[in-house]
Amino acid sequence: MREDPYRAFMPYPDAAAPSAPAGALQGLSFAVKDVIDVAGYPTGCGNPVKLAASGVRTKTAPVVQALLDAGARFAGKTQTDEFAYSILGRNIHFGSPVNPAAPGRISGGSSSGSAVAVAARQVDFALGTDTAGSLRAPASYCGVFGIRPTWGRVDNAGVEPLSPSYDTVGWFARSAETLAAVGDVLLGDDPTPLPGAARFLVDRACFGLARPEAAAALEVALRRVELRLGCFDIAAAAPNLDNLCWALRHMQSWEAWEAHKTFIERHAPVMNASLAERFASGKDVTETLLAESRALAARFRNHLADLLGEGTVLVLPTMPSPPPFLAEAEASMEDFRNRTLRLMCPSSLSGFPQVTIPVHDGETGPLGLSLLGPAGSDRSLIQLAARVAEAARERIA
Amino acid sequence: MREDPYRAFMPYPDAAAPSAPAGALQGLSFAVKDVIDVAGYPTGCGNPVKLAASGVRTKTAPVVQALLDAGARFAGKTQTDEFAYSILGRNIHFGSPVNPAAPGRISGGSSSGSAVAVAARQVDFALGTDTAGSLRAPASYCGVFGIRPTWGRVDNAGVEPLSPSYDTVGWFARSAETLAAVGDVLLGDDPTPLPGAARFLVDRACFGLARPEAAAALEVALRRVELRLGCFDIAAAAPNLDNLCWALRHMQSWEAWEAHKTFIERHAPVMNASLAERFASGKDVTETLLAESRALAARFRNHLADLLGEGTVLVLPTMPSPPPFLAEAEASMEDFRNRTLRLMCPSSLSGFPQVTIPVHDGETGPLGLSLLGPAGSDRSLIQLAARVAEAARERIA
Work out the number of other CB atoms within 10 angstroms of the CB of residue B355.
Answer: 34
- Rounded to an integer, the average pLDDT of A97-107 is 96
Q: How far is A91 from chain B (nearest CA, A)?
A: 9
Chain A environment of B54 (Cβ under 8 Å):
13
The pLDDT assigned to B2 comes to 66
Q: What 3-state class would DSSP assign to A200?
A: strand
Q: Which of these, B79, B80, B85, B122, lies nearest to B100 by C-alpha position? A: B122
What's the rounded Cα separation, in Å, for the pair B127 and A80?
Answer: 34
Give the active site residues of A: 33, 110, 134
Q: Which of B56, B94, B268 sits opposite A48 (nearest CB)?
A: B94
What's the rounded Cα separation, in Å, for the pair A341 and A362?
Answer: 26
Q: How far is B93 from chain A (nearest CA, A)?
A: 6
Helix (H) or strand (E) holding A357: strand A354-359
Q: What 3-state class would DSSP assign to A335?
A: helix
The pLDDT assigned to A2 comes to 66
The pLDDT assigned to A310 comes to 81
DSSP code at position A83 = G
To probe the interface with A, which of B47, B94, B263, B266 has the most A CB atoms within 10 Å?
B94
Q: Which amino acid is at B160?
A: E
Q: Do B270 and A55 touch (CB under 8 A)?
A: no
Chain B environment of A95 (Cβ under 8 Å):
49, 268-270
Q: Which of A7, A51, A267 sits opposite B48 (nearest CB)?
A: A51
Work out the number of other CB atoms within 10 angstroms of the CB of residue B311.
Answer: 16
Helix (H) or strand (E) holding A247: helix A241-267
Q: Where are the beta strands (DSSP E) in chain B?
A: 29-33, 73-78, 125-130, 145-148, 168-173, 199-203, 232-235, 312-317, 354-359, 367-372
Residue A1 has pLDDT above 60, yes or no: no
pLDDT in 10s for each residue of chain B, 397 residues: 468 999 999 999 999 999 999 999 999 999 999 999 999 999 999 999 999 999 999 999 999 999 999 999 999 999 999 999 999 999 999 999 999 999 999 999 999 999 999 999 999 999 999 999 999 999 999 999 999 999 999 999 999 999 999 999 999 999 999 999 999 999 999 999 999 888 899 998 899 999 999 999 999 999 999 888 877 888 877 778 999 999 999 999 999 999 999 999 999 999 999 999 999 999 999 999 999 999 999 999 999 999 999 889 999 999 999 999 999 888 898 889 889 999 999 999 999 999 999 998 778 899 999 999 999 999 999 999 999 999 998 765 5
Residue A179 has pLDDT above 80, yes or no: yes
- What per-residue string of b and e applies to A334-345 under the rule 16 or more CB within 10 Å gives b? eebbbbbbbbbb
Q: Which residues contact B267 (CB under 8 A, 6 or more apart)?
A: A11, B49, B53
The pLDDT assigned to B395 comes to 67
- Please classify residue B177 by burial: count the beta carbons closer than 10 Å to its beta carbon, then call 0-12 exposed, 13-18 middle and 19+ buried: exposed
Rg (CA), chain B: 19
Q: Do A12 and B52 touch (CB under 8 A)?
A: yes
What's the rounded Cα separation, in Å, for the pair B304 and B307?
Answer: 5
Q: How far is CA A78 from CA A65, A232, B268, in A?
A: 17, 38, 16
The predicted-structure confidence for A286-320, as pLDDT tens digits, reads as follows 999 999 999 999 999 999 999 999 889 999 999 99
* A73-77, A258-262, B206-210: the lowest-pLDDT one: B206-210
The predicted-structure confidence for A18-53, as pLDDT tens digits, reads as follows 999 999 999 999 999 999 999 999 999 999 999 999
Chain B environment of A49 (Cβ under 8 Å):
11, 94-95
Chain A environment of B268 (Cβ under 8 Å):
7, 95
ipTM over 0.95: no
The predicted-structure confidence for A318-344, as pLDDT tens digits, reads as follows 999 999 999 988 889 888 988 999 999
Interface A:B, Cβ pairs < 8 A: 62
Q: How far apart are the first and last CA of chain A?
A: 48
Chain A, nearest residue to B51 by Cα: A52
What's the rounded Cα separation, in Å, for the pair A140 and A36?
Answer: 22
Chain B environment of A7 (Cβ under 8 Å):
268
Q: Do B56 and A52 touch (CB under 8 A)?
A: no
Angle at A239 between CA A237 and CA A241, to 5 degrees: 105
Please report the domains of chain A, with CATH numbers, ordered by start residue.
29-242+285-393 (3.90.1300.10), 243-283 (no CATH)
What's the rounded Cα separation, in Å, for the pair A343 and A319?
Answer: 7
- Identify whether B110 is a catalytic site residue: yes
Residue A177 has pLDDT above 70, yes or no: yes
Q: Do B270 and A94 touch (CB under 8 A)?
A: yes
